[in-house]
Chain A
Amino acid sequence: LEPEKRPWVKPDFRDVD
Chain B
Amino acid sequence: MTAPDAVPRLRRGVKAAYDPTRESHVVLFPEGVLVLNETAAAVVGLCDGRTSVQGIAARLAEEFDGVRADDVAELVDRLVARRVVDVDG
Interface residues of chain A, those whose CB is within 8 Å of chain B, are 5-16
Question: Chain B: interface residue count, which band?
Answer: 20 to 34
The A interface, classified by DSSP as helix, strand, loop or mixed, is loop
A8–B68 CB distance below 8 A: yes
Point out the residues of chain A lying under 8 angstroms from B14, CB to CB. Answer: none
List 17 A-B pairs, Cβ < 8 Å. Answer: A6-B38, A6-B64, A7-B64, A7-B65, A8-B60, A8-B64, A8-B65, A9-B39, A11-B39, A11-B40, A11-B72, A12-B37, A13-B36, A14-B35, A15-B32, A16-B32, A16-B34
A8→B66 contact, CB < 8 A: yes
Chain A neighbourhood of B63, CB < 8 A: 5-6
CB distance from A2 to the nearest CB of B (A): 11
Q: Give CA–CA (A14, B68) in the complex, Å.
A: 20
Residue among A6, A7, A8, A9 facing the most chain B CB atoms (10 A cut-off): A8
